[in-house]
Chain A
Amino acid sequence: MLTIKDLQAKVEDKDILKGLNLDIKPGEIHAIMGPNGAGKSTLGNVLSGREGYEVTGGSAELEGKDLLDLDPEERARLGLFLAFQYPVEIPGVSNLEFLKASVDSVRAAQGKEPLDSVSFLKLARAKCKLVDLDQSFLKRGVNEGFSGGEKKRNEIMQMMLLEPKLCILDETDSGLDIDALQVVAEGVNSLRDPNRSFIIVTHYQRLLDYIVPDFVHVLANGKIVKSGGKELALELEEKGYAWLEDAAENGAS
């Protein structure tokens, strides 16, 4: 599904990703953990094509297609989805119109007709229900005045509408109450599919009780410094990251 080789990237002349490797097969869930400032969000931004993130080396391919040369919208149309750590508020643009524009363009790329407004509204309402957001949120501006948890639910709703191939969830669990955490987890689990993969960036092992990952990676100082099964998350919870960062600096991994 996703193959990242020796990925290096910088922001404002600062090297952030320093040779990152990751291979994700269809149907797999990979959790990425790691200290603040390690480069986790940067990885998501680089993969989704945000301006200002300069790739200085390496490659990233989605189903064999080179991602790094594409515009953000082209990547999304290929099936890449990033649930943002900090979703943006866009007053004046209605959530519903935004969602429809998004779904229409992804469908168009798949050679599908746009949905008529009535069917779309129905679909959007159904997804609202699944993430436990009141329908009135469709009428409001995109994320405008949404609480932290509501913004995250809105991200998951978008993911459910777009049915992407590769979903990257950047700390979608941060700031969520326990019920919302379940909602997010159920959202992800309902989309689990042999042809869909997930990257779950999180600081908390708790989310991984609900969304059981196939692999857990530690990203520190711009690289994956350790990979393991789901038990690695428990170990990290206990020991923190210091032992791994020391190991990384000494050249081991």
Chain B
Amino acid sequence: MTDFHKGLLAVNDENLSKESSSLAAIATLNKSGKESFLQQEIPTRKTEAWKFTSLFGFTSNEEGYGRLAASYDAAGLDALTTIPALDAQRLVFVNGQFSAELSSKESVANVVRFSEANEAQQAIIADNLGTAIEQEKHIFAALNNATTTDGVLVHVGKNENLKTNIQITHITTAQANPFTVQARILIVLETGAEATIVEHFASNSDEQNCFVNAITEAKVGPNARLNHYRLQLMQEGSIQIGGVHVDLDRDANYDSFQLGLGAKIVRNDINVNHNVGGSHCELVGVYLPQNKQLIDFHSNIEHKIANCTTKEVFRGIMADKSKAVFNGRIHIHPDAQKTLAELSNKNLLLSNDATINTKPELEIYADDVRCAHGATIAQLDEQARFYLRSRGISAAEADVMLSFGFINELLENLELDAVRNLIRPILAQRFGRDEELMQHIG
């Protein structure tokens, strides 16, 4: 066991001694997670899946992240944990701890913390927790399995349309010592169920030194539909790793929107499994690193069976000395005939010091499939630029408008207006650092 392994597992001992009432299902998960975690090596630049994302700043931190935050003060966090105009059942966690104060007062029967689950809900957790994750391929998912003590279950029963949006917010605050947050969500949609879930990550300081490992698992049943938003809006101090692991049953739908704006180092693994047939998955994502941020999206879509579709569109704009990594793998198994898969990734570099590593990976082992992929490092369209300028708009403002438009195009189809309205002004600020230049966007 290396110091790295030991350090991160230390959280577990601290947790377990504190909360003796752990569910049996969690204890089992912790055990297998620990075994798997210990078998895996710390990712380095030689690890294929981590080639472009160095964790050096993380693994070499001598103080380590192996402890929980000491305490928190909910004062002043309300605005940061609110998505204006979003009508939602809100659960807020501060530094990993549930905050009743910041969360919605009334509760919805469909949403419960593991630690509060009733017997039926405990059974659902036991049946599903960890089943969508291949932990031996994802060291940080294994770590989350090993050390998680609580989490949120969203369960929607047969043919139920959960009209209330669910917002789950994790906010971190500045602390004296580095600390870890293991966040965990389990979403279980039964046959014909529908739900909209907004995951939201925020922080109140760019000085903080924390490691957030957020794992979300979704089991989308036959004909069910999950609309999933994952908004990373932290400031630039922390490290966020984690991902989404989705199992799609027959004719299930998974619609997701990922926003990568925050943190110093971000790594998201998005794994979707078309397991039974007829399922659809639509992934839209936007990342906008600036300064020295690094944002890495690794998606892996497994078409294990026939007649499923995937549509994946990611766009990024890199400013300053920032870096982004996009790796989009679509794996079409021999049985996955009639697969329809599209992957597009476009990137704009705003500075000479910014970097993008983009790689679509289509692995096709079936013959009757339709697949398209493209990954580009784009320039602003000269024709569009001239069009705007010919109408009196300055070159600088035209660039801001076009950069904004490049991303905004992907926001236009979002179902939740509140999410769009939350993001647009932030986007506008990213491009138009000058008030004058951003007055016509957002």
Contacts and interface: CB of A to CB of B under 8 A. Distances in A.
Interface of A: 48-51, 71-73, 75-77, 82, 84, 87-88, 90-93, 97-98, 100-102, 104-106, 109, 141-142, 158, 162
Nearest to A84: B387
Contact of A141 (B387, B389, B405): B405
Contacts of B392: 73, 76-77, 102, 105-106, 109, 162
Q: Which 5 A-B pairs have the closest CB atoms?
A: A92-B405, A92-B409, A93-B405, A102-B391, A76-B392
Interface of B: 381-384, 386-395, 397, 401-402, 404-410, 412, 439-441
A90 B384 contact: yes
Interface-central residue, A49, A72, A82, A104, by most chain B CB under 10 Å: A72
Contacts of B407: 92
B393 A101 contact: yes
A162 B391 CA distance: 8
Contacts of B389: 49, 71-73, 76
B387 A88 contact: yes
B411 to A, nearest CB: 8
A84 to B, nearest CB: 7
B440 A100 contact: yes
A162 B390 CA distance: 12
A112 to B, nearest CB: 12
A97 B441 contact: yes
A98 to B, nearest CB: 7
B388 to A, nearest CB: 7
B390 A98 contact: no
20 contacts: A49-B390, A71-B395, A73-B391, A73-B394, A84-B387, A88-B383, A88-B384, A88-B387, A90-B381, A92-B410, A93-B401, A93-B402, A93-B405, A93-B441, A101-B397, A105-B391, A105-B393, A141-B405, A158-B391, A162-B392
B320 to A, nearest CB: 22
A71 B394 CA distance: 9
A103 B197 CA distance: 41
A96 to B, nearest CB: 9
Nearest to B389: A72
A50 B440 contact: no
A98 B384 contact: no
A245 B366 CA distance: 61
Given A98-B393, A101-B439, 7 more contacts: A51-B382, A75-B390, A76-B391, A88-B387, A92-B407, A98-B388, A102-B393
Nearest to B394: A73
Nearest to B315: A92
Contacts of A76: 389-392
A200 to B, nearest CB: 18
A72 B389 CA distance: 6
A97 B405 CA distance: 11
A97 B383 contact: no
B384 to A, nearest CB: 5
B401 A98 contact: yes
Contact of B390 (A48, A101, A109): A48
Given A51-B386, A101-B397, A93 B391 contact: no
Contacts of B412: 92, 141
B123 to A, nearest CB: 47
A106 B393 CA distance: 8
Nearest to A83: B390
Contacts of B381: 88, 90
Nearest to A104: B440
A90 B394 contact: no
Contact of B402 (A72, A75, A87, A90): A90
Contacts of A142: 387
A38 to B, nearest CB: 22
A224 to B, nearest CB: 23
